[in-house]
A and B are shown apart, each in its own frame.
Chain A
């Protein structure tokens, strides 16, 4: 695998029936490409948390995944309210998710911390009333 592969997905707000489809699709493709299972796991966790955040907290957006031989880059762009205090949002347990979201098993305030933990690099840009962009990198270790 030498070329770069770019995958694009739309994410719709409040649509839980489709939430996780982008993550599942990326996972399937990486598996077919024979990518290291630990890398796939990290990508799946980070992407799913990011995708769910777009469904819950934004008005919708796009996910772009660029797969190259040494790194997987994921760019999640949404339009929405934005994140006022990113440092606060990154803290484990901080959540503004309403009760109906909690009853679905989300809203524990662990999404962003999980993303941080399972990616090798994370950059968040957010503008109030405009939207949020997450850029995350997961490196693919060289096979021996």
Chain B
């Protein structure tokens, strides 16, 4: 599924920032809040579901070529981080769902 499609398909996810490269492929959901693990294990093109909302999340997402960041549990970036996300062209969505349920929902849509 392309990122463009991904953004449009979920009523449950609120679009926080529409980034660049919307024609890229979203491969699978990935969950982890510990940045060292995320950094080394994130699959290419991941929809990264996390509650870690700070500039370091953005750095890891861009270094690992994640397709987008999905903030779960109603978490939110602060203004400065949002500015940075816009500057870097990183797509961000958010949800009030818990991490697992959010990732499961994404998994079902990507695989069904």
Contacts and interface: CB of A to CB of B under 8 A. Distances in A.
Nearest to B58: A20
B39 A49 contact: yes
Given A24-B63, A44-B63, A105-B34, A117 B40 contact: yes
B76 to A, nearest CB: 16
B3 interface: no
Interface residues of B, number: 21
Interface of B is mostly: helix
Interface residues of A, number: 22
A49 B59 CA distance: 11
A110 B57 CA distance: 16
Contacts of B54: 16, 104-105
A17 B83 CA distance: 11
Given A20-B60, A104-B35, 9 more contacts: A17-B55, A17-B80, A20-B56, A27-B63, A44-B63, A48-B63, A105-B33, A106-B36, A114-B39
